[in-house]
Amino acid sequence: MIRALYVTDGQSQAGLSRQEIADALAVRKGLLWVDIPDLDDDGIDLLRHLFRFHELAIEDCANQRIESPKVDDYGDYLFIVAHSIAYTEGNPLPDITECDIFLGRHYVVTTRRRELSPVDALFERATHNGHACGPGADFLTHNVLDVMVDQLLPAVEAMDERLDGLEERILDRPERDELLNVLELKRATQRLRRSILPQRDLVNRLSRGEFDLISREALIFYRDVYDHIVRVEEMLDGLRELADSALSSYLSAVNNRMNEIMKAMFVVAVIFLPLTLIASIYGMNFNFMPELQ
């Protein structure tokens, strides 16, 4: 599915056909936003023949693997790979999802292969209010990155609260299921952290004035996104330490329980060992039983 939005003077025109997209692209005025929520053959054909993007960038978009966050400068446009998270039914942990962004002078093209609700919500707002896009393509790209990063904060906070609850239950009664939940959360934290580190470097490059397509007025907004990513990274570091603490608590609780069991077994052994010794002596076959008289 291909959906397009053309904004001029704060007025939005949605539902553009392919020819209208080509006309808006040729005008080089206003702001054109083409969003492809589910990249298919039609979307790839649009990227290749209408926008004439580089084959390497199109290949990255079409690749089923999750690409690492990056920014490539192709002169007339920037190709940005950014990460956010998505929730799947039946899985309480977030999954990493990718959004590819083409930033031109007067247009922005976003593609992805999975549902990304913050970007969908931003597109809907821009459909009814063109000012939601911002004054230019660089501001629109900032808005897309901002809503994607904002999606990370509540997810990490939810993971933190869940891990706190697991640690309390582990201290109260350590069970193997709780250990598996802690390990699952720890793996999810590590996956998110591996995604956040290159994304932090990506946004840092966008906020330093390295690219001509990003105006000086927009740089401070990209720095704000960078600050949010650093905050998420710090939260993930704390979450990883909390997971390690929960694992240590589980092992300590299991060892304490084992010690209690060993104590109980030792008491039983102390009681029955003398009785076993006596029974062993007098239970033997004597020709003349000692102390019989």
Phi, psi of 30 (to 5 degrees): 70, -155
Decide if 122 contacts 147 (C-beta within 8 A).
yes
* H helices, E strands: number in the chain: 8, 7
Rounded distance between C-alpha atoms, residue 235 and residue 189, angstroms: 10
Residues in contact with 223: Cβ distance below 8 Å, sequence separation at least 6, in sequence order: 207
What pLDDT, in 10s, does the model give residues 86-142? 765 555 567 788 899 999 999 999 998 877 888 989 999 988 888 888 889 999 999
Q: How confident is the model at residue 153 (pLDDT cuts 50, 70, 90)?
A: confident
pLDDT at residue 33, rounded to an integer: 93
User: Residue 156, SS3?
Assistant: helix
Quick check: 5 pLDDT over 70? yes
Which pLDDT belongs to residue 287? 64
Residue owning tokens 């193997």: 176
Q: Are 12 and 132 in contact (CB under 8 A)?
A: no
**Considering only CA atoms, which of 49, 73, 48 is closest in space to residue 61?**
48
Strands annotated E in the chain? 3-8, 11-14, 31-36, 70-73, 78-88, 91-103, 107-112
Could you tell me the two tokens for 148? 């994607």
46 within 8 A of 25, measured Cβ to Cβ = no
* Whether the Cβ atoms of residue 176 and residue 111 lie closer than 8 Å to each other: no
Confidence class for position 202, pLDDT limits 50, 70, 90 = very high
Alpha carbons within 13 A on the beta-carbon side of 110:
28
**pLDDT for 214-228, tens place per residue?**
999 999 999 999 999
CA atoms within 13 A on the CB side of 137: 25
| Residue 143 confidence class, pLDDT cut points 50, 70, 90 | very high
For residue 256, name the pLDDT band (cuts at 50, 70, 90).
Answer: low
Res 92: pLDDT: 58
Q: Residue 76 — pLDDT band, cuts 50, 70, 90?
A: very high
Average pLDDT of the chain? Answer: 84
With 80 as the cut, is the pLDDT of residue 38 above it?
yes
Look up residue 255 and give its two tokens: 């060892």
Q: What's the CA gap between 228 and 145, in Å, rounded?
A: 11
Exposed, middle or buried by CB within 10 Å (0-12, 13-18, 19+), for 193? middle
Tell me what pLDDT residue 140 has. 94
User: In whole angstroms, what is the distance from residue 226 CA to residue 209 CA?
Assistant: 14
Contact call for residues 122 and 96 (beta carbons, < 8 A): no
pLDDT, one tens digit per residue, over 156-188 is: 888 888 877 777 777 667 677 777 777 788 888
Residue 139 to residue 206: CA distance in whole angstroms: 12
Q: Which of 4-8, 201-205, 216-220, 267-271 has the lowest mean pLDDT?
A: 267-271
> Would the pLDDT of 203 be above 90?
yes
pLDDT of 275: 77
Q: What percent of the chain has pLDDT over 70?
A: 89
Q: Is the pLDDT of residue 72 over 90?
A: yes
**End-to-end alpha carbon distance in the chain:** 103
pLDDT over 90 (residue 55):
yes
pLDDT at 238 over 90: no
